[in-house]
Structure 1
Amino acid sequence: MQYKTHWFLWGLAAIIWIYIIYRAFSFPITQDEAYSYFLVKTSYWRAMPGSANTHWANTLCMRLLLWLPGPDALWKIRGLPVLCWPLFVVSVFQISGSLRSYAIKGVFLAATLLNPFLIFYFSLARGYAPGFAVQALSIWLLIRVCRQPNQSLQKWLPFFFAAALSVACNFSFFYCFLLFTLLYVLHLLYNGQYRSLLQKAALPWWSLTGSTLLLTTGMLFFIRQRGDLFYGGLDDPIRSILGSLIRYSTYLPYPSIWPVAGAFGLLALLLLASGYHAAAYLQQRRLSPPLLLTVSAVGVLLLCWLLHTLFGTPYLLDRTAFILYLPVVIGLLMTWDERVGRLPAAGWKKGHAGIAILLGMILLANAITAYNPNNFSEWPYQRDTEACLELLQKSDAKKVGMTMWHHGVFHNFYQVEQPGKYHFDYTLLNKDSDLSTFDYLLITRKQENMPAIGKEWKIVAEHTGSGAVVLRRQP
């Protein structure tokens, strides 16, 4: 793709970046971000390795930015994901250059640059967005190395380095790194090139992959032993992982069966595509990007099932499942693009273009439907927490009971970032809490792990968007 002839795409990417920056500056801090901030601000480094909340690249960047003078503004906390958007855009544009059909290019750009779920995480201080950006970079590097006639181990090193860097952003990407490494080694063994792994020139590759595998496995085992590796799905890998991709990418109204039906449809496409490319590989004995992407996606599903069966490891779910979004989208669209190039008649090609244009329009409508600069429907709980805290302060509250959604951000962020500002005592509510000991409650309509609220409690403030409710106990 010649960037100078596609100024519209650069303009669109710049507008989305402005949207991301605005959200990063204005969207209230969330519970997971607050805990990361607390560990960094208090230099509680000893607790970080045992917490699944620690996304190392994001944590280290947050620490660097918080050393800058001035208050602990949200832009310091969310700096890395915001700055990773240009890397993501450049990588996506480079990947789109490998697609020959302009209609399929449009679908790809809409699926990547206009996905509301991806956009949100570029304005949130977590490791997912940096991981997406580096993963896109690794796929671009994969396409480059696969185009070269001489695919020596040294030429594969940049791809594996980028894939390893995504693991440093978030450990969920370890699944992809593990499958990429396994498939590459199997490729060398199948073609009788295993001796290249025993040469001195392979030392950098062994150092990179070996250290990534050992360090990540060790840290995940430590997190599991600490009891913090619990987030995920328990149903099955198809509904948990592929269902998450469908559910959290769809913002248009849909029937209740859509996530399940879409997940199984996606699985069928992945199996067909991976089988098609595997058959081609057996003839050509040459790796291709769609082969690695589709087969690794199927491999991640199998690996998750195996780990869940043997060790009870939860399936990837919701945001963690999105480590497969780019491999699935790019792998399937590259397969589609390859098959279209082999269509014999112009009429068939026009038919495919019509389908692609329709799909692109649906993705655009989906993005427009999800547009909201001040809210994210998948994480609404802390949107109004600060307003509730200000109300409690003005109401001269003495002792406040809080549900986990509000207690987490108050204890880990507001109390640390502005010490001494709030004068009331606070306690995390649970099902055994004695509500008579509080004069105020800060809860959500989604009441979890707390006792029933009696008639003596009066609603003082209620926020419909986030579900935050402030109640005062009557004398």
Structure 2
Amino acid sequence: MNRKTNLLLGGIAAAFGIYVILRAWLIPITVDENSTAISHVPRSAIDTLFYNFDATPNNHILHTLLVKVLTEVFGWHPFIFRIPAMLGAFVYAWAGLLISRQISSQLWVRMFAFILLLGQPFMLEFFSLARGYSLGLGLMLAAIWQAWRFLKESRSESLLPAVIFAGLAVYANFTQMVFFVPFVALLLFCSWQASTSISSFWQNSKAAIFTLGILGGLWYTPLKRLSQHSEVQNGRAIDSFFESIRLSIQAATHGNAYLGPETDIWLSWLAVIFTLGIFAVAIWRSALVQGRFAADPRLFLIALFAGVLMTNILQVQLTHTPYLQPRFALHYWPLFALSLGTAAAWMWEHAKRWTWVFMVPILTLLLLNIVQNTNLRRTSEWWHDEFTYLVFDVLKKAQQAEGHPEPFSLDSHWLLQNSFVYHVERDPRGYNHVAKLAPWHEVRPATRQHEFYYALNQEDANPILDSYEVVLRVPNNSMMLLRRKEK
């Protein structure tokens, strides 16, 4: 790449990295992150790998193991806890940049593809949170990059790392299995196309095939145990693929009505129409090169997107499980973004003017959505944990003002307590000197047993308002901190 291309793509990647790091530093630990720390990390490595008990999709195996190693060495500072997620973000940006610069020789198309890959606010949230989704996305793109190298450069040695990266993506998040199956099938098909005989195919592919066998053996037990979990069986009961698309788009736009009250429906239909169109174009272009993906690796990207869609639909029909909710369907965004980038690249080769007509509206909406929804302190999936640090600040100031030597006793609505648990029990920054938490509890009414109560809303606070007063109303939110009145 020339210097201008390096600067522009590097600048986009740098902005992405800074945003991810700042969020990882500033956002309090969320409920699902605390579940990883309290419930999953303490398990042995064997327990984690095979789900010996409590097989749950919230235990992202590779992420849990990396956190286990890092926290044993460096402690439980939230930033350390989130390093595996940031590692996933780095791999995602690195592989995405490499693919984007190969997708077209034209700078603006490369930038279009790269901005699309990085510019989805809902997906961006997970690159700063201690969950396995970020690692899964990064490893998925790394696998796709290795497949590209295999096709473009006839590098048979790229087959094995492609399978390994794809397998690690599954270990990061088992939902990636709907990516892994069509990816490996297409990869081996491409290896067959590139071989002159069965023996040469075996010679080129045997390491990858042996690795597949090992992965299958390792996955059998955890997948069998995981398949019985209620979240896998019922998972919010999304019963149509279109509804899954609509919910993902609603999450990506954070519900903003850019095109009116039915924005999510309009954008869903546009996505469906584009997807069907790009599949049709890919079939036509594939026929021109006798179906050989090596002639144009971009065909592999479209075939992979189609394969993942079909695998997901077949899996739902055969296993009677629901379609994916937005955070489980994150892997669709990079595949869709690469399809948009491929469409722009193909258009540029034949009709440059129409390429701008295609790219400008998409980029305009994308950038508007980024400006509207990027922030440094909030996660839409776990919105209720945004103000944990603010509550600690109020308690700390009260301690200092009153010369209170002991931590205040603090209770909260059940939904809000997990974030506090992490920061009091794990965080090394001394929050255990500020607050002493009520024992963890399920759903129950507020009690009068503690000095402070953090309420989810007015209804939660009402039963104890005769004995407590409001000392903090969270800005632009329903949550409030109550303090017991002095007698």
TM-score by length of 2: 0.81
Cα distance 1:75–1:60, how it changes in 2: closer, same or farther (>3 A)?
same
In 1, the alpha carbon distance for the partners of 2:284 and 2:160 equals 26
Cα distance 1:391–1:86, how it changes in 2: closer, same or farther (>3 A)?
closer
What displacement does 1:471 show? Answer: 4.4
Does 1:132 find its partner at 2:132?
A: no
Does 1:426 find its partner at 2:430?
A: no
Aligned pair partner of 1:442 in 443, 449, 454: 454
Alignment RMSD: 3.6
In 2, the alpha carbon distance for the partners of 1:26 and 1:231 equals 34
* Alignment check: 8 A CA contact 1:290 1:332 kept: no
What displacement does 1:231 show? Answer: 7.0
* Alignment check: 8 A CA contact 1:57 1:168 kept: yes
- 1:193-212 residue pairs with structure 2 within 5 A? 195=198, 199=202, 202-212=205-215
Relative to its length, the structure with more helix (as a share) is: 2
* Alignment check: 8 A CA contact 1:88 1:133 kept: yes
What displacement does 1:191 show? Answer: 9.7
Amino acid at match of 1:285: G
* Alignment check: 8 A CA contact 1:237 1:301 kept: no
Q: Secondary structure of the residue that 1:262 maps to in structure 2?
A: helix
Give a deviation string over 1:25-52, Cα, whole Å, max 9, x none. 1110011111111135544667642121
Q: Secondary structure of the residue that 2:383 maps to in structure 1?
A: coil
Residue matched to 1:261: 266
What displacement does 1:380 show? Answer: 1.6
What displacement does 1:129 show? Answer: 1.6
Residue matched to 1:308: 316
* Alignment check: 8 A CA contact 1:145 1:156 kept: yes
Q: Secondary structure of the residue that 1:470 maps to in structure 2?
A: strand
Does 1:62 find its partner at 2:73?
A: no
Aligned pair partner of 1:123 in 102, 122, 128: 128
Residue matched to 1:321: 329
Aligned pair partner of 2:242 in 231, 239, 246: 239
* Alignment check: 8 A CA contact 2:147 2:158 kept: no
Cα distance 1:231–1:80, how it changes in 2: closer, same or farther (>3 A)?
farther
In 2, the alpha carbon distance for the partners of 1:306 and 1:72 equals 41
- 1:23-172 residue pairs with structure 2 within 5 A? 23-39=23-39, 42-43=42-43, 48=48, 49=51, 50-69=55-74, 72-98=76-102, 99-148=104-153, 150=154, 154-172=157-175
In 2, the alpha carbon distance for the partners of 1:204 and 1:457 equals 69
Amino acid at match of 2:455: I
Does 1:370 find its partner at 2:380?
A: no
Give a deviation string over 1:189-232, Cα, whole Å, max 9, x none. 89998935983654311222233344335323212324453574
Give a deviation string over 1:358-405, Cα, whole Å, max 9, x none. 432332232222232222344321112354467679699998664342
In 1, the alpha carbon distance for the partners of 2:407 and 2:98 equals 56
Q: Secondary structure of the residue that 1:442 maps to in structure 2?
A: strand
**Larger mean Cα displacement after TM superposition, 185-194 or 78-87:** 185-194
Cα distance 1:340–1:166, how it changes in 2: closer, same or farther (>3 A)?
same
What displacement does 1:173 show? Answer: 1.3
In 1, the alpha carbon distance for the partners of 2:98 and 2:441 equals 49
In 2, the alpha carbon distance for the partners of 1:192 and 1:246 equals 41
Residue matched to 2:282: 277
What displacement does 1:427 show? Answer: 4.4
* Alignment check: 8 A CA contact 2:448 2:467 kept: no
Cα distance 1:187–1:457, how it changes in 2: closer, same or farther (>3 A)?
farther
In 1, the alpha carbon distance for the partners of 2:224 and 2:70 equals 30
**Where does the alignment leave 5 or more consecutive residues of structure 1 unmatched?**
344-348
Residue matched to 2:419: 409
In 2, the alpha carbon distance for the partners of 1:298 and 1:409 equals 39
What displacement does 1:177 show? Answer: 0.7
Amino acid at match of 1:273: I
Q: Secondary structure of the residue that 1:225 maps to in structure 2?
A: coil
What displacement does 1:311 show? Answer: 3.1
* Alignment check: 8 A CA contact 1:85 1:122 kept: yes
In 1, the alpha carbon distance for the partners of 2:168 and 2:3 equals 26
Does 1:175 find its partner at 2:178?
A: yes
Residue matched to 2:11: 11
Cα distance 1:105–1:236, how it changes in 2: closer, same or farther (>3 A)?
farther
Amino acid at match of 1:119: L
**Where does the alignment leave 5 or more consecutive residues of structure 2 unmatched?**
400-405
Q: Secondary structure of the residue that 1:372 maps to in structure 2?
A: coil
In 2, the alpha carbon distance for the partners of 1:339 and 1:356 equals 10
Cα distance 1:304–1:140, how it changes in 2: closer, same or farther (>3 A)?
closer
What displacement does 1:24 show? Answer: 0.9
In 2, the alpha carbon distance for the partners of 1:351 and 1:190 equals 34
Amino acid at match of 1:7: L
TM-score by length of 1: 0.83
Give a deviation string over 1:71-95, Cα, whole Å, max 9, x none. 5211110012223433333222221
Matched-pair identity in % = 20
